[in-house]
Chains A and B, each alone.
Chain A
Amino acid sequence: MEKLSIKNPSNLRTDFLGVKFPNPVVLASGILGMSASSMASVVRNGAGGVTTKSTNLEGQDGHPGPKVITYESGMLNCYGLTNAGFWHEKKEIAKFKKRLPQNPLIFSIFGFSLKEFQAIAQKVDQTRADFIEINISCPNVQSEHGRPFGCVPGMPQKVIKAVKKLTKKPIIVKLSPNVVDIVEIAREVESAGAHAISAINTLGPGMVINLETRCPVLSAKAGGMSGPAIRPLAVKMIYDIYENVKIPLIGIGGVTTGQDALEMIMAGAQLVEIGSGVYYRGISVFKRVCNEMQEWMRKQGVKSIKEIIGAAHD
């Protein structure tokens, strides 16, 4: 097992909306977020915090397999928001927080209507989650449920205002890259009262066709794109959002190395999330990214990761 070069390195410590993180590298939603045990193993492998998989009140089945495939430089998935519902997730969150009280947990929630968002939002204060993440950006359920709210200007603010009335927890809104102008959506999200923004969710969806069988490989035909191929897009989006809103940002998309994480932070992210990186570098990706960030910081004489947030801006 890979070791952190320094145990609990103080130079990586950070905080987000007043909550302390041992390091800024966090597990993204939908990856290894099945149970308290799977999230705890991610923390054991170096993550500062975790995000649960997206949950709605009643739970749902999602799509059949193949659900995940990779291509030369990225990954496609069509999970379709499989989850066991609020009551199950509440227990897993409690179990996680009992084991790891020092590692913040982001509870990702979704709904296909304002009503469904309200139904889960009014329950979230019963959990020990540190933050709520509103997922308005999953591209994998469009054929059944229409365009995600995050892609329809005017909708994010309705969701945020409705959710905000029902919970005291800090609200992070996860944005979709599949929009004409992400800055416009980010501004709307900020003015509706969200406390933070995370970006980006998966791109597309994209498609891979198998030649011999002349048929798309994913069961849902298409799937959201993630991994290294989307990183420059994610960096640019964080960069642009940072220039235009004041609320803190979580950078997500294609991060697999310490350099990638630093780049995201320089673009303006306070925290960085990793999803597909678990495939590219194994579950110890979190530790490795922390080690690589520290090595760079040591060489550059950077004492705290907080010093370089937004450093790429003029």
Chain B
Amino acid sequence: MLHCTVEQPIIFPVKKIINEAPGFKTFIFEGQLNAKPGQFVMFWIPKIEARPFSVSFQTPNEFQITVMKVGEFTKAMFKLKPGDKVGIQGPYGRPFSLGSAKNIVILGGGCGIAPVFFLLNQAVKSAKNIFFIGGCRSKDIFLKQKALKKIIPDPILMTDDGSLGKKGFTTDALERLLKKRPIDKIFACGPEIMLLKTAQISKKYNIPCQISLERLMKCGIGICGQCCLDDCGLRVCHEGPVFEASKLLESPEFGKYKRDNRGKIIKI
């Protein structure tokens, strides 16, 4: 009746580190994590801290985490070298679910390209028509440019400054696509403003949409309540991080605010 799992980090030495772009690194580990696209792990640097990161790729004997340097913890991650031991706890959370969708569009914005890259790799096995829309501020920080093109011949690339692909937002490209093509499911991960727009577009066109959301996480196992959304109380670490867009649109906080470490409300 009780689970007998033990929630503790498992130690992996860093196998390889890829410099993806300025401020972005991918860490590769050897081992089978059994993660599904959209799931995350708690990444522990002994004596420092543990924080949540999505799994950005997985093969039968390797898995990857792609990280954007934003503050103290990610700075510490960037100092890691191959062979350094870190702890991985998880995978946790509800993954993306492709279901029986055949014509799909996958959106990734900024660092959000990493988790949907993993989804894309899976989707090519089951879906028929796959569109990928990636967006970023500019060309030099566009993740996985080459790898993307190996999986899907013509990804739609968008940049804020027009330095790669078209100038504009991923959501502009999404709307253009929905007008032209029959799509039965949308998947998205990225900055919350992009996610909010994506959710609104999916509602407008009445197309099911799954969105991966980020909230500050502490336990990652649904105990502390840090990541609970208003007003539904759903836990991003447990009932999420992937939610149906329709569910998120009911939440007054989606796209508007989140909570800091103490639980105070901060604007997005």
The distance from the CB of B37 to the nearest CB of chain A, in whole angstroms, is 24
* Residue of chain A at shortest CB distance from B50: A65
Interface residues on A, range: 35 or more
Q: Which residues of chain A (199-241) have a CB below 8 Å from chain B?
A: 208, 210, 212-213, 215, 217, 219, 228
A72 touches B225 (CB 8 A): no
Stretch at the interface among A181-189, A244-252, A277-285, A306-314: A277-285
Q: Is A88 in contact with chain B by the CB < 8 A criterion?
A: yes
- Supposing A44-B233, A228-B2, A276-B223 touch, asked if A68 and B8 sit within 8 A by C-beta, the answer is no
- Supposing A34-B259, A66-B44 touch, asked if A40 and B231 sit within 8 A by C-beta, the answer is yes
* Residue of chain A at shortest CB distance from B261: A61
B4 touches A41 (CB 8 A): no
Q: Is B151 in contact with chain A by the CB < 8 A criterion?
A: no
Task: Give bound CA distance, A278 to B3, whole Å.
Answer: 12
Scoring B residues 198 to 242 as 1 if CB is less than 8 Å from chain A, else 0, what string do you get? 000000000000000000001101111110111111110000000
Q: Which residues of chain B (31-83) have a CB below 8 Å from chain A?
A: 42, 44, 46-51
Residue from A35, A84, A278 within 8 A of B222 (CB atoms): A278
Residue from A41, A59, A280 within 8 A of B232 (CB atoms): A41
Q: Is A193 in contact with chain B by the CB < 8 A criterion?
A: no
Q: Is B1 in contact with chain A by the CB < 8 A criterion?
A: yes
Scoring B residues 73 to 105 as 1 if CB is less than 8 Å from chain A, else 0, what string do you get? 000000000000101010000000000000000
Q: Is A170 in contact with chain B by the CB < 8 A criterion?
A: no
Residue from B42, B85, B224, B230 within 8 A of A213 (CB atoms): B85
Q: Is A60 in contact with chain B by the CB < 8 A criterion?
A: yes
Chain A hits for B44, CB < 8 A: 65-66, 217
A40 touches B11 (CB 8 A): no
Q: Is B168 in contact with chain A by the CB < 8 A criterion?
A: no
Task: Give bound CA distance, A31 to B219, whole Å.
Answer: 11
Q: Is A153 in contact with chain B by the CB < 8 A criterion?
A: no
Residue from A39, A44, A210, A257 within 8 A of B9 (CB atoms): A210
- Supposing A66-B42, A66-B44, A213-B85 touch, asked if A38 and B262 sit within 8 A by C-beta, the answer is no
Task: Give bound CA distance, A40 to B229, whole Å.
Answer: 11
Chain A hits for B1, CB < 8 A: 257, 281
Q: Which 5 A-B pairs have the closest CB atoms?
A: A41-B233, A34-B225, A38-B228, A32-B225, A65-B50
